């Protein structure tokens, strides 16, 4: 049911923890399953120098957060904004359809942390104004199928 990559990132997640002096912190949750994901970013000159996460959730959410942190580390803010939940799922060699919403949580966590960064530093990040953090993630996941 789960790809080897999902199992690998679930059993040995990368970048777990927190960054005490983070430049941006984002927290998102899924109301239906109750899972919570928190993401910390260290940003210098528009580059994501470091990223850590804490996920209280299912295995797919943990694997998705781990992969998402790997995908955005060393990237620009613009590149991180372009990471979709589908990109996270593809990098994991796929997730079962009913688990796609777990990858949505990872995309939202990145954007939530970037929103916090943009507010603290009073900068504008293109695309953030379109993000609806309150959207029903499960419905969203099924809509995409």
Q: Are strands 36-44 and 24-29 parallel, antiparallel or unpaired?
A: antiparallel
Residue 74 or 96: which CB sits closer to ligand FES?
96
Question: Over the range 1-27, which residues count as b (16 or more CB within 10 Å of their CB) and which as e?
Answer: ebeeebebbbeebbbeeebeebbbbbb
Told to judge if 58 belongs to the known catalytic residues of this protein, a careful annotator would answer: no
Q: Does position 131 bind ligand FES by CB under 6 A?
A: no
Q: Does position 61 bind ligand FES by CB under 6 A?
A: yes
Point out the catalytic residue in the list 2, 3, 33, 87: 33
CB of 145: closest distance to ligand FES in angstroms? Answer: 16
Told to judge if 33 belongs to the known catalytic residues of this protein, a careful annotator would answer: yes
Q: d(Cα 25, Cα 6) in Å, to the nearest integer?
A: 25
Query: Binding to ligand FES (CB under 6 A): which residues in 18-47?
Result: 30, 33, 35
Q: Does position 102 bind ligand FES by CB under 6 A?
A: yes
Q: d(Cα 75, Cα 38) in Å, to the nearest integer?
A: 19
Q: Does position 66 bind ligand FES by CB under 6 A?
A: no
Q: d(Cα 143, Cα 145) in Å, to the nearest integer?
A: 6
Q: Does position 57 bind ligand FES by CB under 6 A?
A: yes
Q: d(Cα 51, Cα 79) in Å, to the nearest integer?
A: 14
Residue numbers at the binding site for ligand FES (CB under 6 A): 30, 33, 35, 57-58, 60-61, 102, 105
Catalytic residues: 33, 102
């Amino acid at each position: 049911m789960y790809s080897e990559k999902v199992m690998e990132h679930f059993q040995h997640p990368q970048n777990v923890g927190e960054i005490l002096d983070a430049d941006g912190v984002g927290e998102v949750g899924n109301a239906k399953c109750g899972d919570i994901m928190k993401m910390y970013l260290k940003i210098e000159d528009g580059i994501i120098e470091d990223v850590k996460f804490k996920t209280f959730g299912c295995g797919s959410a943990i694997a998705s957060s781990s992969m998402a942190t790997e995908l955005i580390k060393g990237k620009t803010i613009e590149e991180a904004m372009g990471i979709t939940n589908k990109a996270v799922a593809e990098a994991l060699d796929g997730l079962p359809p009913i688990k796609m919403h777990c990858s949505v949580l990872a995309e939202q966590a990145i954007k939530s942390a970037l929103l916090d960064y943009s507010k603290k530093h009073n900068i504008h990040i293109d695309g953030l104004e379109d993000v609806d953090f309150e959207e029903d993630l499960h419905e969203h996941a099924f809509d995409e199928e």
